[in-house]
Amino acid sequence: MADSKMAVTQWSPEFVKELLPASEKTALLYHLSYLCLANFPNLERIIRSRAVETQLLFGSSDATMLKCILTSQNLVESLFPMLVKAVEKNKAVLAIKFLEKARVWIKDIIADVDKIVEKYDLHNNDVKSSTSDVYKEKCDTDKKIKEQDQELKQAESALNTLKSLHQKTIEELAETEQKINSKTQEIQEFARSITKTSKGLGIFAALVPFIGLIVKSIYDAVHDPENIARMKALEAELNVYIADKTALKQKEWQTQLQLIDGQMKAAKASFDLNSIPDPIYLNEVQSSLSKIQAILIQLKHFWESVAVMLDSLEKKTFVGEDLVEDLTELKDEFLASIEVAKQAWSIFGAGCQKASVIFKLQTKDSYKFLEVSPSSLNKEEWEEEYKSVKERLENIDPPKSVPSSVKPAICQ
């Protein structure tokens, strides 16, 4: 049943936890950029244009999420019931027909997500180009300022220190993420080696492509003490890395808040000097957009993995002799797998529904600040609005994923 091309995935239906802060930060960082470029009409126009493009991109992302929702519903309400009937009636050819339908659905989603990812790539390049435009105008403006205020120098010095600390934390986080990916891959390979010896587990793995449930099924079905001990050891190692990642995310968020505070001080000093602040917030916009893009890339890979597993299920089980010869023996396991799959895919669909709501909110309300030019604000109004946006940024919590036990950790 299982082969070298099959792989359980660490994709989690809780991906929306990463999407929400990234999308919220994008709007708030645009707002800060907009405020910092007050009294520079050309730069205001550039920021407004890029922010509107982001709104449109989020609208397209919402449409893709809706397609994921509908496909998840089709799997739960259409494909799985049809597969149950096919198995109960011993009609392998009918099951193949149903799986072909599912593969067409998934192929369409992969193509749609691929297009959205390309749009994010192009848009991020546009934002990067806008950042360069700001730097150029800043350079031209700063040539007219012969002396920098001492407060600005101190703020910039402190800002550079915070940048270094923040960058170091990001590097530590990336290193820990790599360890998690490596350990997850090790667990996947071990799980595959076990599913090769059990046709029932192989069918379960194809229909329920979430590693936490795969591992649980292995514990329930495999009684070899050596295999169980090995799996528990791997889980324990992964839990350590996930705990490290959670702690580093909190540290990264705290340093980012300190960095934002330092940026505010430098921006205020530059504002007082009539100088253009560094377009730091635009760089952060690019970072947030990249995080959303990365989530969508993972979504694409997830669907690709599902397509491979369904293909393997068809070829190894329905086209081959496995189910034909062992149908009586495997029927109960297959039908039980279908029930778990329906629950898992329903949860995944709910996650996509939450993501759709997030994108809708971003396209509807989060960019209303564009309706008012920051150059129309006096100094007190500017500082009040800046403070308000900064406070909202501080209230965006990073995803919390400290596992209370082994099982939740493996679902990260």
For the chain, 412 residues long, give each residue's pLDDT as a single digit of tens. Answer: 333 333 334 445 566 677 878 888 888 888 988 888 777 777 888 888 888 888 888 888 888 888 888 888 888 888 888 888 887 877 777 778 888 888 888 888 899 889 988 988 888 888 888 878 777 777 776 765 655 566 677 777 888 888 888 889 889 988 998 998 888 888 777 777 776 666 666 666 667 777 667 677 777 766 678 877 888 888 889 889 989 988 998 888 888 888 878 877 777 666 666 665 666 677 778 878 888 888 888 788 788 878 877 776 666 556 544 444 555 566 777 777 788 888 888 888 888 888 888 888 787 778 888 888 888 888 888 888 888 888 888 887 655 443 333 332 223 3
N- to C-terminal Cα separation, the chain: 26
121 Cβ contact partners less than 8 Å away, ≥ 6 residues apart: 293
Angle at 333 between CA 330 and CA 337, to 5 degrees: 135
- Residues in the chain, overall count: 412
Hey, what domains does the chain have and what are their CATH numbers?
Answer: 13-410 (1.20.1170)
One DSSP character per residue, 375-390 reads GGS-HHHHHHHHHHHH
Token representation of residue 286? 């690019």
- CA gyration radius for the chain? 26
> 10 Å Cβ neighbour count for 260?
21
Q: What is the pLDDT of residues 265-319, one digit of tens each?
A: 777 666 666 665 666 677 778 878 888 888 888 788 788 878 877 776 666 556 5
Alpha carbons 353 and 351: distance in angstroms, whole number: 5
> Three-class SS of residue 9?
strand
One DSSP character per residue, 123-170 reads HHHHHHHHHHHHHHHHHHHHTT--S--HHHHHHHHHHHHHHHHHHHHH
SS (H, E, C) 194-239: HHCCCHHHHHHHHHCCEHHHHHHHHHHHCCCHHHHHHHHHHHHHHH
Residue 93 contacts residue 163 (beta carbons within 8 Å) = no
Residue 253: Cβ-neighbour burial (10 angstroms; 0-12, 13-18, 19+): middle
Q: What is the pLDDT of residues 242-264, one digit of tens each?
A: 899 889 988 888 888 888 788 77
Residue 395: Cβ-neighbour burial (10 angstroms; 0-12, 13-18, 19+): exposed
Residue 163: Cβ-neighbour burial (10 angstroms; 0-12, 13-18, 19+): middle
Alpha carbons 72 and 52: distance in angstroms, whole number: 31
> What's the whole-model pTM score?
0.61
66's enclosing H/E stretch is helix 41-74
Angle at 150 between CA 147 and CA 152, to 5 degrees: 90
One DSSP character per residue, 356-376 reads HHHHHHHHHTTTGGGGS-GGG
Alpha carbons 302 and 85: distance in angstroms, whole number: 27
Percentages helix, strand, coil for the chain (3-state, rounded to 5) are 85, 0, 15
Alpha carbons 192 and 201: distance in angstroms, whole number: 9
Alpha carbons 293 and 156: distance in angstroms, whole number: 31
Alpha carbons 97 and 90: distance in angstroms, whole number: 14
Residue 61 contacts residue 357 (beta carbons within 8 Å) = no
